[in-house]
Structure 1
Amino acid sequence: LRKLHSYMFSIDRPSFDRDKIIFYEDRSFQGRHYECSTDCPEMQNHFSRCNSIRVDSGCWVAYEKPNYTGYQYMLHKGEYPDYQRWAGFNDCIRSCRMVPPYNGKYRMKIFERSDFTGQNLELNDDCPDLNERFHTRDISSANVMEGYWMLHEHPNYRGRQYFLRPGEYRRHSEWGSTTPTIGSLRRVKELN
């Protein structure tokens, strides 16, 4: 299944003229910059650090490391004059992925243990405090049936972020987490 997720992420989709993100080396949109309008698995050749971002259109996930790994940051249309504005832990962005436009329903089932076992809960809306609703913060597997979702390490959409596309995630490492701790989750919706 790990190969399936890698394959899903590498599918080339048509570029939407309206979707564009610009990465700047310095704060307040200064210094060298790189414009991107499609998924980019390796951006190190374009800039050495990233201290500000402008999202002209679309919804994007920026990643700390190449090939869509490391810390993940959800970016909607707007300006981010320094990395703290996108909840960044440092000035390192090495890959990015466009979130396709989506207007359908949202449905996801989360599980307390790996391989879709243990206590489970089906969701179709945002959840600011998972412990209050699910009575645990350990989410070890998930089945995203419809829509795009963002998991957050802490309640109220704070802490590390994990982007989930439709598909099965048999263990938390498949969405990039080193622990099963999740405090909140929400649907990814374009805010244009």
Structure 2
Amino acid sequence: MGKIIFYEERNFQGRSYECMSDCADMSSYLSRCNSCRVESGCFMVYERPNYTGNQYFLRRGEYSDYNSLGMSGSIRSCRLIPQHRGSYRLRIYERENFQGQNFELLDDCNNIQDRYRMPDCQSCTVMDGHWLMYEQPHYRGRMMYLRPGEYRSMRDVGYSGMRISSIIFYEDRNFQGRSYETSNDCAELTSYLSRCNSCRVESGCFMVYERPNYMGHQMLVRRGEYPDNQRLMGMSMSDCIRSCRMIPMHRGSFRMRIYERENFNGQMNELVDDCESIQDRYRMPDCQSAHVMDGHWLMYEQPHYRGRMMYLRPGEYRSFRDMGTGPMDMRIGSIRRIMESC
């Protein structure tokens, strides 16, 4: 039997409510819920009443701050996930009301785009077992819990905007020639295309690079059409895209430290939001290394988010020059978070 304890305040403080089943509206018991402890079993917690809105899967453990889960608001409802020991069976459909191409799943799938060439999933039928659907490949991004039943529209169950990131690369300009579609990172596009001179982002956000292994000049591309890479990247760029990274959606806090010199030396400053000019805010003449703790960031060559850019995901960057992460002569002028709106 599952058991979860909700607390009004962070760090398990304030009034509490103990639950061992579904709860459609936490406000019946607590005015707010900002932390919880799962004593046993597994639960889904939701940002809105009646099991709607963004949702998160919780196993046994302590969750001292809802922000650490990536939630933008407090917990409003929860579902107990019953233990299932039988078979698993799920049928997914490309469009609402069980329309479009469909496929049956009996086990996990870490990328429906790669396995089925299916760009989206808007309805499904769960025949057996309990499932989690994720927004991004490899079980990342926002999630949705499905118990046995029919789901004619993901929007009808209170979850809209969930879509698999997808980008299509074309050999020639104006979306001509052979194409290659992907929904995750690709270190070497020449494994699939001899060249890449245009692209179309079906959903999500990607960084595209002029060199293999995510190096050289780079550009953020959002949903839309890019018929000519030279126009997209600027005349200083080479003609072709050589690699790409999918940028996962991030809903939690943002935090990074920037350092004036390589190997985390010199002046240091910590950022939790955008900075349109590191010179004006910190009197910092250059940034040569960084440590990204939370979130995904773009660093720009000039103030006010202009000029060449460099994408940083969580990790340590001891030397931008040695890693080939960005242009060798690039100096950092401004820094911006990659937000959900991407």
TM-score when scaled to structure 1?
A: 0.82
Deviation string 1:44-101 (CA, Å, 9 cap, x unpaired) is 1332333321111111111111122221221122222222453342321111111122
Unaligned runs of 5+ in 2: 1-136, 141-162
The match for 2:337 among 162, 187, 191 is 187
Alignment partner of 1:44: what SS? helix
Q: Quote the residue 1:14 is aligned against.
A: 138
Structure 1 stretch displaced more, 99-108 or 86-95: 86-95
Identity of aligned residues (%): 52
Partner of 1:61: 207
Aligned to 2:191: 45
For the aligned residue pairs, the C-alpha RMSD in angstroms reads 2.2
Instruction: Determine which structure has the larger strand proportion and give its number.
Output: 2
- Structure 1 contact 15–37 (Cα < 8 Å) conserved: no
Q: 1:191 to 1:51 in 2, by over 3 A?
A: farther
Distance 1:53 1:190, change over 3 A: farther
What is the match of residue 127 of structure 1? 275
Q: What stretches of structure 1 move > 4 A for 4+ residues in a row?
A: none
The change in CA–CA distance for 1:49 and 1:108 in structure 2 (over 3 A counts) is same
Residue in structure 2 matched with residue 99 of structure 1 by the alignment: 247
Q: Is the deviation greater in 144-153 or in 15-24?
A: 15-24
After TM superposition, give the deviation of residue 157 of structure 1 in Å.
Answer: 2.2
**CA offset at residue 123 of structure 1?**
1.0
Change (3 A) 1:86 1:157: farther
- State the TM-score, normalizing by the size of structure 2: 0.48
CA contact (8 A) 1:107 1:123 kept: yes
Q: Secondary structure at the match of 2:189?
A: coil
Instruction: Say whether residues 1:171 and 2:315 are aligned partners.
Output: no
Which runs of 5 or more structure 1 residues have no equivalent in the other structure?
1-12
Equivalent residue pairs, number:
180
Indicate the SS of the match to 2:193: coil
Higher relative contact order (CA 8 A, sep 6+): 1
